[in-house]
Amino acid sequence: MNGYEAVVRALQQAKPDGLLTALRGALGAHYSVLAVDLLLADYGMTALCYVTEPNEHPRQHSLFNSVDGRAFGSQTSLVEKFAGAGRSVVRLPVSVRGDRLGVLVVELPTAEPDRGVLRELERIARTLGHELLVAERDTDLYREIRRRDRLTLAAEMQWDLLAGRAYECPEYSLGAQLEPAYAIHGDNFDWSAGSDRLLLSVTNGMGEGIEASLLTSLAVNALRNARRAGVPLADQVALADKAVYAQHSGERYLDVLLLSFDPATGEVEVVDAGSPRLYVLRDDTVIHYPFEAQMPLGMAEDTIYTAQHFMVQRGDRLVFVSDGVFDAYGPGSDFFGARALARSILSTRLLPAASVPQEILRNLTDYRQGSTSEDDALVVCLDWWGKG
């Protein structure tokens, strides 16, 4: 058994909350490493938080302006050499199919790491990412570590409802973020990636607190139930609409933008049931895609929905935003969505999809100049490549 296989076996046999202990032992035994640290990105994507063992104190530092943050943001391994001390520190991104989880930091007893060892460490970091996702089903440790502050109960419910924060495959890349991360109300994003279809929904919730989270949970799970039953797109929205109306009789409702992408042709089927907006960056031009808005989910009984169609092209960047983004006020009289949002989207054209939502939300914060918003801000970015 080689070193890589031994480390993987140790991770697979470890208790859910003991991944770091197992990793330190296996890397020490098979790679003679001097130290191992694992840092996870917090919910707000602003800090890297150390995974700790029982005798260690919690630590964290900014995701920005740090070498660990550079490894996280670039999604490339970074080697820091200390020739005089005869050692080196390797920082490896821990990600699963584009979903960026954190950074693995390994100190090696040589100033010039062997390339074969570096490749194996990169494979170990990828394996660790998968093991972290599996372990999260059975322990709260990693969710607790990712919190800089206490989550509201509504935010707890919303984060558990999300599919993930990023996804990559040869045909497209996805990235998404919700703010304020620790007190979100009812906004949501969801996706399902298949070999012949990408289903994507963006939900603009109504209300605040637990009531908003319960409403969004009902709608999202109704959409998932209809999607998994294999019904057409418009019927998925209609069934979710019936579920919300049956529960609230029109007194509570929410907006949903539901899309189905064909990776082979670029054809998109869409149902616009409310206010989430789509902006397309194509050839250095940002276009707001207007759809025929239909009734929000749960507003009226037996609403009939119809699907619309449009085409995406290779190289298109699609940015979806909730009203907490495009309707946000700055110090003047203009909404952020009037002009500043298009400039913000254009400024992200060199960033990967996973980094775009965070950058737009940072621009939104700067635009407000200290003013606060009572609404959620949701951004989803989809970079489209298609097949062939």
In this predicted structure, what is the pLDDT of residue 199? 98
Distance of alpha carbon 244 from alpha carbon 296, whole angstroms: 10
Distance of alpha carbon 182 from alpha carbon 155, whole angstroms: 6
Question: For residues 306 and 360, is the Cβ–Cβ distance under 8 A?
Answer: no
Distance of alpha carbon 82 from alpha carbon 84, whole angstroms: 6
**pLDDT tens by residue, 170-220:** 999 999 999 988 888 889 999 999 989 999 999 998 888 899 999 999 999
Reduce the DSSP state of residue 388 to 3 states and report it. Answer: coil
Confidence of residue 290 (pLDDT cuts 50, 70, 90): confident
**pLDDT tens by residue, 108-136:** 999 999 999 999 999 999 999 999 999 99
**pLDDT tens by residue, 338-353:** 889 999 999 999 999 9
Distance of alpha carbon 376 from alpha carbon 322, whole angstroms: 8
User: Under 8 Å CB-to-CB from 15, ≥6 apart: which residues?
Assistant: none
Kindly state the average pLDDT of the residues 370-381: 83
Distance of alpha carbon 379 from alpha carbon 181, whole angstroms: 12
In this predicted structure, what is the pLDDT of residue 293? 87
In this predicted structure, what is the pLDDT of residue 36? 97
In this predicted structure, what is the pLDDT of residue 181? 83
In this predicted structure, what is the pLDDT of residue 1? 61
Mean pLDDT of the chain: 93
Kindly state the average pLDDT of the residues 280-308: 94
**pLDDT tens by residue, 133-175:** 999 999 999 999 999 888 999 999 999 999 889 999 999 999 9
